[in-house]
Every structure is written in structure tokens, then in C-alpha cells.
Amino acid sequence: MPVQTALPHWETTPDDLRAATREVKAAIRARIAASGRTVEEVFAVVQRGVEAEVADIEAARERGETVWPVIDYADIAAGTVSAADLAHLRRRGCLVVRGHFDREQALGWDREIVSYVERNAFFEQYRGPADDFFGSVASKPEIYPIYWSQPQMQARQSDRMAAVQAFLNGLWKHESEGVRWFDPRRDAMYPDRIRRRPPGATSGGLGAHLDPGTLDLWLTQAYQQAFRHLFDGSVEQYDPWDAAYRTAGPQYPGSTMCSAFRTFQGWTALSDMDHDQGVLHTVPIPGAMAWLMLRPLLPDVADDDMCGVTVNQAFPAGDERWHGPLLRALSGIPDVRAGDSVWWHCDMIHSVAPVTDQRGWGNVMYIPAAPWCPRNEAYSASVRAAFLTGSSPADFPEEHYERDWPGRFTVEQLNATGRRGLAIDG
């Protein structure tokens, strides 16, 4: 293969997004052509692989099988997850952990969150959604911009959470090219919000999208290196489980940004939820990211367009014109009980189904797997400051409801895992 010149890159958001898009698309096409293949040939490799996975998922559904892998927490803790279950998990890229926490503990956490917000007059103070990420969700409120309650922090720093996070991080290749990209045994604490959706709720759900970034996935040097095999014609070598170059690069700022590198997004159930009650769906094909990154290079997409991806909004993945075959694989979680946790690969297309007159509560707290790495260490400084002052973390709107709330989790209550996650002891 000939020596490659660097792709043009923009480490901060370019002033002219369309011009940058045209320039980088032309450069990627030229690099692929230099390998002796066309973009169409490279995309065809991806298309064959993805469509085979879609067919397998559709066949599993026809047989009445649960598409999502389900593994008991006890097997994770004991190191007794079977080779077959591990292979299934790597193939699907998503997981339900049964019994991650005791059901009664999770239900107690749910009650405690209600007590925390009510005694601090949250509903009287609530000013409405401060961003439009969940703008299609019609509840008042459904997403609580609360970060530092006792239940959230107890779950984040628990040994049971650390065990699952380490297990999931371990699915990734975290050392390559002489670099240790992240520490799979140490998680950076990434505080996120709470969802409480009441019985009888009607919600529009969330359309198919993904969250690792937007135009920065094509335009920044670190991500160009992370997706190097997609952009240089060696697509067969692309590995969606390889963390190389993902753990230090920037992300363009915006209302939907995540400053951390997450191996898996996740939430812990605080109520029982049936599979047909407006639940999470994914396209359980980790390699589908190759489709999403290469599809804009085909000639039916305008040169200044990345299939609708732009800054300051979630990466859209629901347009039938470009991603129709992928959407056939959208698969919802099975029934979950309070205390179960749900996880999906950070690059995975996901959505939340709409629901009318929901049966039962739909309550979760969002806790991902975000292993210690340069990118997460950099973000930890702002997380630590937010924790100490009860502020909203930097990735989220500046609402700061909890600054003066009695009963929020304090530094004296941190255990060793919590202190490490916040880098309080270095």
C-alpha cells in the first residue's frame, strides 16, 4: 500500500461545516482509491457482513428467541460466564445483567429518589427541559436533571457496579501498538440523570440515533485514526472492539456531547418494565458503525452532507434512504425487573419506542462504563468540582438544582471506588 498522506482534520469545530465535509470526503475517497479499491467495493464488504447479521437477528425473532444476551450478575461476579455467552455478547454488543442489584434495594432507591426531590421542592423549582435531547418525550418531567442523590452515588461506587463495568471493559482491546489505551479495572465516574416515567404516560419515544460524536468522527485526527481501516481500504481489519485512538481525542461541543469515552452506555432499572412498554431498542450489530461511517461516501449522498449528521444534535440513524437495512434489526430489551441493568456498545444505534398509556413505572438511573483513560481523566476534574458543589456536570445544561439541597451525597460518604472514580486521591 502506498505511503498515505494525513487526512485534513479540524480539532475544533470548523467555521464552514459544509466546506470541511466536502474536503474530508474527497480526501477519504482518494485514500481508499489509493488502496486499489473503490468506495463502492469497500462498502459492499460492510454491506454483506451487516446484512448477514440482520438476517440472523430476524431469524432469531421468528423463532421467538430473545435477541439481547442475558447474563446473571452472579456469573459475572464469579467469573463463570460461559464462552458461548461471551461470544454472543461480543456479536450482539448489548446485554441485560439479571440481578445486578437486589430488587428490593432498587425499589428502595426509587422511593428514596422521590423523597429526595420532593423534600427539596424540585417540582416547584423545575423550569422545564433545559435541552431538547429528550424533546419528543411528553412528560412533566420524565428526565430529572438530578445527579448527586444518595441512590445514584451508592450505585456508582458499589462493588457490584465496578464488577460489571470491569467485565464489560474487558471485552475491548485496550492495549495495542505499544499503548495502553485505558485501564479496564478502573472506571471514571460519569454522572448522568434519572428517568421516571409514570403509569399512564404517553411518550413519543426517541428516534434511532447514536451518541459517540457527530462530525468530529470524520473530521478530527484521533477518530480518523480510530476508523483508519474504514478510510484506507483495509475494511476487513476494522474491529469495533478496538479502543485505539478513541481515548484522548476531542469532541465538538454541543448540547448532546459526551466528554467521556464510554465502552458501554447503560442504565439500572428502578422499576419492573415489560418489553412492550416504550423500552430501549438497539441495532445489535457493533460492526454497523462501519456502515454509518462509509455510507456518506457513496455517490447518492451530496458532497457536503454526511447523511444528515451535523454538530449540536444527536447522530441520526433512522433515515430509511441511507440506513433502511440496519433498521430491520432494531430489537427491544426483554422484560426487566428492578435491579437489572441494561448495557449497549457505545457505537450502537439505539432508540426508545413510543408508548401510549404505559402500564407500570418506567424508572432508570443512567450509569455507563467509562474506563480510566486520558480523555476521562481530563473530564474528571469538572466532575469532581460539580460533585463537591452539587452542580450539574459540564456535559449537561447548567441547572444546578442540587447546590443547596440537604441530603445529597457528600465527599465523606465516598468509598475507595468512589474516590478513585472522581480522582480525589490522584
Residue 352 has φ and ψ, to the nearest 5°, of: -120, 125
Q: For 151-200, how does the pLDDT look when each residue is reduced to its tens digit (9 = 90+)? A: 999 999 999 999 999 999 999 999 998 999 999 999 999 999 999 999 99
Low-confidence ranges of the chain (pLDDT < 70): 1-4, 130-140, 426
**What would the grid cell of residue 229 be?**
481501516
Can you tell me the distance from the alpha carbon of 105 to that of 109, in angstroms, rounded to the nearest whole number?
6
Within a 10 A sphere around the Cβ of 403, how many other Cβ atoms? 13
> Residue 139's pLDDT is what?
40
Can you tell me the distance from the alpha carbon of 258 to that of 261, in angstroms, rounded to the nearest whole number?
8
Spatial CB neighbours of 147, under 8 Å, sequence gap ≥ 6: 191, 192, 193, 386, 392, 393, 396, 402
Secondary structure letter of residue 146 according to DSSP = -
> Residue 131's pLDDT is what?
53
**What would the grid cell of residue 282 be?**
438497539
> Residue 361's pLDDT is what?
95
Model pTM?
0.95
> Residue 426's pLDDT is what?
60
Q: Which residue has the cell 447548567?
A: 398
> Residue 121's pLDDT is what?
95
Can you tell me the distance from the alpha carbon of 38 to that of 12, in angstroms, rounded to the nearest whole number?
30
> Residue 1's pLDDT is what?
44
